[in-house]
Amino acid sequence: MKKYIIISALFMACISILSGCKKDDTPVDEDGLLITTRTDCYVSNFELLGPDFQTVRSKAPVIDTAAGTINQEVLYGTDLRSVWPQFSLAQDCKLNPKVTGKTDFSDLANPRQYTVISGNRQIRKTYKVIITVQTR
Amino acid sequence: MTINFKSYIPFFAGIVLLFAACSKNDDYAVPTPKNQLQNDCIKRSLGPNVVGGYIEFAYAMAIPKAKGKLVSAQVEASIPGGAGTYLENRSFYTNSSGVDVPVKIGDPSVTNGNVTTTNFTVDTNAATLRFFYQAPDAARGKQVSFTFTAKSSNGETVTYKMGPYSVSKMDMALDLGVTDADSSYISIADMKVYRRSQPVDPAKIDLIYMYRTFTTVTYKHALVAPAAPKDYLTDFVVPAGATNDVRLVKAFNLRDQQLARLPYGIFIDDPDFLAQDFTNTPDYFLNIKQEAGAWIETADGKYRAYIYFNVVDDTKKRMTISIKRYTMK
């Protein structure tokens, strides 16, 4: 009887060791994000928040994926030195550079550029964020 | 066959544990009330204790009817309170409609130095009196504590200690009115609003209030520093010598309970002013909305303040503002 108990315990241990060593077939990138098969690569919406986390947009953004531009008009008096951009991306995409907080958009002559990277990490699309301020 | 008794030790230990877990709880007994003068106290006011503001307590005292009646109640503060300090001479109860109804129990309290006393003039053996301590300037940045004492006719005395409580360094000014027509100048140093129609020291003007409307952009209620770009000052003629350039950070949903007096559990205290970053911030705030606010740093860096916009009235072109201010230097 004791012999059978030992054998079955050893068998169970082998199964758990084998299952523990099963290779993970879901790859992740350097940010720990899942790499998928998706090829969609675009910005679907753009938002710009002021220091009080309220929108500074005066109208909806014009996003031209073919030209790689995001045209955004902001309210009169917006201080563009510290605004918070928010990008809505296609599924599984990521953005480079990452948005980590308030960003300076005040250099209107040199618009900031952001690159969208597709879910399969093979396609890249760069957008130029062109800001204009309402004039009186 | 030999029996190894040691191997049964865990089994017996388990049985003992099971019995211990199943032991019957003792019956609950109603506690016997103390047959003497007793007291209790709670702090009613919430949030930072600001100089000029009140720290409120409710002090309850009672003695069994057969033992006697209440004679006096007194509070000793570690730092003498302001002129507004008093101990209620009315005991309150809450009626069925939720309204606090007062019952007078004695003459108004008398304050001598740091001791405030109310003497009972009615025959009562239980009362709850509220104590309002107006934080004086001497307590700014310090801690204050209180000793509540009740005396009864049979000579008994009980005391209850409360605190210590920190008194903030900041100042507060409530409900200052600014108008586009005249009362346009805000001085953070003085925590006041000055009229354009009266002589004013231009060095004291930190912000200018104005109301403007344009067809192409939204401007409306605005606070602009005298040194702000001319475009944001619109047609406003800044007094000669007014050159202060404050830094300003907009805030929304920051409705400090002491400034707004609205039921939001948000309180701005001393550390919040120190935590603000005024790097790359503008010197104007356009299109101000009611219940919004703004963090301010004066041009000389001496003061930081939070201005809350209580009322924003488009029709009358005016605002009501409340300010908390912290002295940095």
- Reference B210, options B285, B104, B283; nearest CA is B285
Q: Is residue A6 part of a domain?
A: no
Q: Is residue A83 part of a domain?
A: yes
What's the CATH code of the domain at A99? 2.60.40.2340
CA atoms in the 13 A half-sphere facing the CB of A16: 6
Q: Is residue A123 part of a domain?
A: yes
Q: Is residue A7 part of a domain?
A: no
Tens digit of each residue's pLDDT, chain B (329 residues): 556 666 777 777 777 777 666 666 678 888 887 889 999 999 999 999 999 999 999 999 999 999 999 999 999 999 999 999 999 999 988 899 999 899 999 999 999 999 999 999 999 999 999 999 999 999 999 999 999 999 999 999 999 999 899 999 999 999 999 999 998 999 999 999 999 999 999 999 999 999 999 999 999 999 999 999 999 999 999 999 999 999 999 999 999 999 999 999 999 999 999 999 999 899 999 999 999 999 999 999 999 999 999 999 999 999 999 999 999 98
Tokens 């049979």 belong to B154
Q: Is residue A79 part of a domain?
A: yes
Best probe of the A interface among B213, B214, B216, B217, by most A CBs < 10 A, is B217
How far apart are the C-alpha atoms of A29 and A32, rounded to whole Å? Answer: 5
Report residue A7 as tokens.
Answer: 């054998």
Whether the predicted interface score ipTM is above 0.85:
no
How far apart are the C-alpha atoms of B123 and B208, rounded to whole Å? Answer: 59
Burial of A65 (0-12, 13-18, 19+ CB in 10 A): middle
Could A52 and B281 be called an inter-chain contact, meaning their C-beta atoms sit closer than 8 Å? no
- Reference B300, options B277, B323, B318, B327; nearest CA is B327
Which of A52, A76, A82 lies closest to B292 in CB terms? A52
From A77's Cα to the closest Cα of chain B, the distance in A is 7
Q: Is residue A55 part of a domain?
A: yes
Q: Are B58 and B42 in contact (CB under 8 A)?
A: yes
Superfamily classification of domain B38-166: Domain of unknown function DUF4466 (2.60.40.3550)
Q: Which domain, by its residues, includes A73?
A: 43-133
The total number of structural domains that make up chain A? 1
In sequence order, what are the beta bridge partners of B322? B308
Best probe of the A interface among B233, B276, B280, B295, by most A CBs < 10 A, is B280
| Portion 243-272 of B in contact with A at CB < 8 A | 249-252
Q: Are B167 and B141 in contact (CB under 8 A)?
A: yes
Which of A52, A104, A136 lies closest to B251 in CB terms? A52
Q: Which helix (H) or strand (E) holds B285?
A: strand B284-285
Which of B218, B251, B292 lies closest to A76 in CB terms? B218
Kindly give, in sequence order, each residue whose CB lies less than 8 Å from that of residue B183, ignoring residues fewer than 6 positions away: B177, B193, B194, B195, B196, B209
Q: Which residues of B touch A48 (CB under 8 A)?
A: none
CA distances from B172 to A66, B47, B109, B210, B275 (A): 55, 13, 27, 23, 19
Interface check B96 vs A, CB under 8 A? no
Which of B231, B232, B250 lies closest to A51 in CB terms? B250
